Amino acid sequence: MLGRNIRDAIKSVIRNFTLSLASISCITITLIIVAVAIIASFNVQNFTKEIERDMTIVVFLNNEVNQEDIDEVEEKIKKISNVEKYTFQTKQEIKKQMQEESDVFNTVLENFSDEDSPLKDTFQVKVKKVESIGKTAKKIQSIKNVAVVRYGEGMVEKMVTAFSSVEKVAIGIVAALIIVTVFLIVNTIKLTISARKREISIMRLVGASNITIKLPFIIEGMILGLFGSIVPVIITTYGYLAFYKHFDGHLYSNLIQLIQPEPFIYQASLIIIGIGIVVGMIGSASAVKKYLKI
Amino acid sequence: MDLIRIKNVEKKYKNGVTAIYDLNLAIEKGSFVFVIGGSGSGKSTLIKMLYREEKPTKGQVIVGGLDVAKLKNKKVYKLRRKLGIVFQDYRLLQKLTVYENVAFALECIGEKRDIIRTKVLKALEDVGLKNKVHEYPDNLSGGEQQRVAIARAIVNDPKLLLCDEPTGNLDPEKSMEIMKVLESINKLRGTTIIMATHDKEIVNKMKKQVITLKDGHLVKFKQKGTYAE
C-alpha cells in the first residue's frame, strides 16, 4: 500500500513537472536562506558560549583581612543569585603560582613578605547570565572588605549583548522564512491538487478513506521538500567548508571562533533536509484538507 | 426487507431554498426505481442525500443500516463502499484506460491485485465492454463511456446503484442500451437501482416502480408506473 503511494507520488511529481519544479525552486531558495541563517545562528551561539565561559569577575580583598572576614565575603558572594560558581586563592597561592609561571616574577616576589605583598586574596567568580555581569560586579563591590572588582568591563559585555540580539534576529528570520515556505508549498501543492480535483472527487465517490486520498499528496509534498533541500545541502556543506578554510577557523580575532566543519555540516544538512520534508508535508496536508470536505 | 428508509426528511439549502418537504419513503432490496419530476422537483437532491453529498436538514435517511444524516465526514467512505454512483457526465479519468478506470475504484479501497483483475474483467463483461479494455475514454462513444462508468460503479458489488440522469447526454438508441445494461445488473446481480431521470420514453418502456416528485413533495409512488402527469 505504501509502495503504491510512493510510486503514485513520484509519478505525480513527474507528470506535473513544471509545477513540481516551481515548488522545488521555492523550497530551494527559502532553504538556502534558512541554511545561512541556521549556520550564522549556530556560530553566534557557539562563540557567545565560548566567551561566556571565559568571563570571570575577579574580586580582590583588602590587605588586612583575616579568615573570618574571608568567610563572611564568601558567604555574601554565595548568596548572589547570578553567581554560578567561584574559586578562592590566598595571596600565598597566587604568589606561588606566579613564581612558577616566570623567573622575573620569581625574583621580584621573593623580596616581599606576606605583610607587604602587593598581591591580594582573590575570589574568581563565574556568573550565570553574562548580560548582568556588571550588576553582579557592583553587588560584590559593595561587600565589606572587598577592595577592587575587575571584569571585562564594557567591551566584552557589549559584544555579548550584541551577539545575543543577532542570534535572536537570526532565529526570528528562520522562523519567518519557514512559515513563508509553508505558505508557498500550500499554494503550489494546491495547484497540483486543483489539477487533480476530478481524481479526488472520484476517489471519494468510490469510497476511498480520507487518509488514502491524503497520503499520496503528503508523500508528494515530502518528496518535493526532499528534492528542494538537495541544493541547499550542497551549498551548506561546501560553502561552509570553503568559508571556514578561507577565514582559518576564526573571524577577525581569535575571540570569534567558528564551529569546526565536522560534524557540524552534517548536522546542519540533516536539519535542512528535515525542515524541507516536514514543511513539504505540512504544506501538502493542509492544501488537500479543503478537498476532503463536502 | 427495506434497503432504504426515508423518514420525515426535509432539505433546506443555505440559500433558503427548500428542495424536499417532509418526505417518507421505503425502498425494498432488489427493486428498480425511477425518480421522476421536472427540474427543481428535488430528484437530484434526493439522490445526493442517499450518497451523502447533501445532508438532510430534518429527518432520517437510512441506507443499508447506516444513518446517513449522522455520518461524520471522515466516515462517509463506509457508505460509499456500499453503493455505486453513475452520473450524466460519466466522470471518468481521461488519462487512464478503461481497465484502469474501473480498477481505480478497487485500488482506492486497497483491494488486492489479483482480486481487482477478476472483478474488473467481470464488471466489464457485464456491461459488454470486454473488447475495449485497453482503450482510453476519449476513443469511446458516449454510450460506451457511460457503460465504463457503470462498470466502475458495480465493480465492488454494491447493494445499491444510484444513477443521476445517466442517459441525459445520450440519444434514445444509446439510452436504451444503457437501460438494458442496468436492467441486467438489477436482475443478475440483484443490485437495487435508483435512477433519477426526466426521460418519459424510458420510464414508460421499462414499467418499473416510479417515484414522482413535484416541487419537493412526493406526488406518487407507483409499482409499475409510467411518466404521466
Please report the pLDDT score of residue A170 as a whole number.
Answer: 76
- Residue A287, class by beta-carbon neighbours within 10 Å (0-12 exposed, 13-18 middle, 19+ buried)? buried
**B77/A205 touch (CB, cutoff 8 Å), yes or no:** no
CB–CB contact A201 B91 (8 Å): yes
A33 Ramachandran zone, left/alpha/beta (phi>0; psi -120 to 50): alpha
Average pLDDT, chain B: 91
- Chain B residues lying within 8 Å of A209, measured CB to CB: 74, 77, 109
Q: Who's near B29: CB < 8 A, 6+ residues apart?
A: B1, B2, B3, B159, B190, B192
pLDDT of residue A219: 87
Res. A110 pLDDT band, cuts 50 70 90: confident
Distance, CA of B37 to CA of B214 (rounded, Å)? 6
CA distance B89 to chain A (A): 12
How far from chain centre, in Å, is Cα A160?
14
Distance (Å, rounded) from C-alpha A59 to C-alpha A80?
A: 14
Domain boundaries, chain A: 2-51+157-292, 56-151
Assigned CATH topology for domain A56-151: Alpha-Beta Plaits (3.30.70)
Which of A171-175, A289-293, B100-104 is predicted least confidently?
A289-293
Whether residue A15 is predicted with pLDDT greater than 70 in this model: the reply is: yes
| pLDDT computed for residue B228 by the predictor | 66
Q: Are A170 and A45 in contact (CB under 8 A)?
A: no
pTM score > 0.80 for this model?
Answer: no
Kind of pairing between the strands at B160-164 and A146-150: unpaired
* Cβ neighbours around B58 below 10 Å, total: 15
Contact A293 B51 (CB under 8 A): no
* Grid cell digits, residue A57: 569577575
* CA trace torsion A100, A106, A110, A113 (10° rounding): -50
| Chain A residues lying within 8 Å of B104, measured CB to CB | 202-203, 206
CA distance A277 to A44: 26
Q: Which residue has the cell 555574601?
A: A76
Interstrand relation of A83-89 and A122-127 (parallel, antiparallel or unpaired): antiparallel
Residue among A205, A214, A290 with most chain B CBs within 10 A, to mutate: A205
Which of the four pLDDT bands, split at 50, 70 and 90, describes residue B100? very high
| pLDDT exceeds cutoff 90 at A139 | no
- Residue numbers in B near A199 (CB within 8 A): 93
pLDDT score recorded for residue B92: 93
Cβ count near A281 (within 10 Å): 20
Position A164 pLDDT exceeds 80: no
Q: What is the ipTM of this complex?
A: 0.85
Closest CA to B86 of B75, B97, B102, B100: B102
Instruction: For residue A18, report the phi and psi dihedrals to the nearest 5 degrees.
Output: -65, -45
Q: Please name the residue of chain A whose CA is at the shortest distance from the CA of residue B82.
A: A207
Nearest C-alpha in B relative to A293:
B73
Q: CB of B93 within 8 Å of any CB in chain A?
A: yes
Q: Of B188, B184, B131, B159, which Cα lies nearest the Cα of B65?
A: B159
Q: What mean pLDDT comes out for the span A176-198?
A: 77
Is the CB of residue A2 less than 8 Å away from at least one CB of chain B? no
- Decide: residue B62, CB within 10 A, 0-12 exposed, 13-18 middle, 19+ buried: middle
The confidence score (pLDDT) of residue B79 equals 92
SS3 for A167? helix
Residues B91, A198: C-beta atoms closer than 8 Å: yes
Quote the cell numbers at residue B8.
420525515
CB contact under 8 A, B73 and A206: no
* Residue predicted with more confidence, B163 or A98: B163
